[in-house]
């Protein structure tokens, strides 16, 4: 080309992928002679932006309950970045929610690809609700094997935010394992026939409409069993008159 000769600007379009992979495009100008095009090229790398990481939200805790560290799912090879607020200082370590105060807190997380592209924020709302109380129950006695225990009564009702109900549980191994009594949800319980020593306890369920919170278990009442069969010896003379 002669000195001072100008050509129209070279324009091209790079088409990146949408699945998070990297696409490389090589371009050149048709203004050059064909024999020179192979040694005069330019390349560009395009990395598509990742979607926000996958999260579970909202997460509920009772006030004062031990919380677990927050989690999110990133695309393969990407790194999670955590924030207390949008635009706040980033952290490579996930946060553990504070459950000491009632209310809602939103935590933020993004994912970053090895090429440096970073996604938009994903939000994780953590809601701290009032802890229900179990109240207390009364009952327990010594009864015969294969007998029906007396009614377990409500001494103090449970408390909590929302609609209240109860879950009853029993144990036949002195409290090592507990099983739910299906279909029982009121504050009192009429146990079924038992064949061995059995313990009972009650848990309050508080339904706020969006979440059901559980109390700690109530006190335990115990029914012990004894063999009430009378064995007679036909060889002994009867004292009946």
10 vs 156, more confident: 156
| Residue 103 pLDDT level (bands cut at 50, 70, 90) | very high
Question: How far, in Å, are 127, 131, 159 from residue 164 at the CA level?
Answer: 19, 12, 7
* Same domain, residue pair 117 and 146: no
Cα–Cα–Cα angle for 233, 236, 240, rounded to 5 degrees: 105
Number of domains in the chain: 2
pLDDT of the residue at 25: 47
Residue 203 exposed, middle or buried by CB count within 10 Å (0-12, 13-18, 19+): buried
Domain assignment present for 161: yes
DSSP letters, 65-110, are PPPPPP--BPPTT-EEEEESSTTS--BSS------SSSEEEEEEEE
For residue 231, the tally of other CB atoms under 10 A from its CB is 5
Q: Would you state the pLDDT for residue 136? A: 98
Same domain flag for 104 and 141: no
Could you tell me which residue, 149 or 234, shows the higher pLDDT? 149
Does residue 150 sit in the same domain as residue 124? no
Looking at the fold, whether 164 and 113 belong to one and the same domain comes out as no
Report pLDDT for 158. 97
Which pLDDT score, from 0 to 100, does residue 19 have? Answer: 47
| 112 shares its domain with 158 | no
More confident residue, 8 or 27: 8
What is the spatial distance between Cα 82 and Cα 53, in angstroms, rounded to a whole number?
11
Last residue of one domain, picked from the residues 105, 129, 153: 129
Residues 124 and 169 in one domain: no
> According to the model, what pLDDT value does residue 73 have?
97
Question: Is residue 71 in a domain?
Answer: yes
User: Whole domain around residue 81: which residue ranges?
Assistant: 59-129
- Does residue 149 form part of some domain? yes
The enclosing domain of 202 has a CATH number of: 2.60.40
Residue 84, in any domain of the structure: yes
User: Which residues sit opposite 56 in a β-bridge?
Assistant: none
Kindly report, residue by residue over 41-75, the tens digit of the pLDDT.
Answer: 566 566 667 899 999 999 999 999 999 999 999 99
Q: Residue 18 pLDDT > 50, yes or no?
A: no
Q: 15-19, 88-92, 101-105, 108-112: which has the minimum mean pLDDT? A: 15-19
**122 and 151: one domain?**
no
Domain presence at residue 1: no
Query: Tokens for 161?
Result: 């935010």
Last residue of a domain, one of 129, 151, 176: 129
160 and 195 both lie in a single domain: yes
């Amino acid at each position: 080309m002669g000195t001072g000769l100008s050509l129209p600007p070279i324009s091209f379009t790079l088409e990146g992928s949408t699945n998070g992979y990297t696409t490389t495009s090589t371009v050149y100008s048709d203004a050059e002679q064909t024999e020179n095009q192979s040694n005069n090229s330019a390349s560009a790398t395009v990395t598509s932006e990742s979607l926000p990481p996958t999260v579970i939200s909202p997460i509920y805790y009772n006030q004062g309950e031990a919380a677990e560290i927050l989690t999110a799912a990133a695309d393969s090879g990407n790194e999670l970045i955590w924030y207390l607020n949008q635009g706040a200082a980033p952290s490579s370590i996930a946060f553990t929610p504070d459950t000491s105060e009632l209310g809602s807190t939103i935590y933020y997380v993004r994912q970053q690809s090895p090429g440096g592209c970073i996604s938009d924020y994903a939000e994780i709302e953590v809601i701290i609700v009032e802890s229900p109380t179990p109240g207390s129950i009364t009952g327990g006695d010594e009864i015969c094997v294969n007998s029906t225990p007396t009614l377990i009564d409500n001494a103090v009702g449970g408390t909590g935010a929302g609609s209240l109900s109860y879950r009853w549980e029993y144990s036949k191994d002195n409290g090592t394992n507990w099983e739910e009594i299906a279909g029982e949800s009121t504050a009192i319980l009429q146990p079924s026939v038992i064949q061995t020593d059995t313990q009972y306890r009650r848990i309050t369920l508080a339904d706020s409409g969006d979440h059901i919170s559980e109390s700690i278990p109530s006190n335990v009442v115990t029914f012990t069993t004894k063999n009430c069969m009378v064995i007679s010896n036909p060889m002994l003379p009867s004292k009946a008159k």
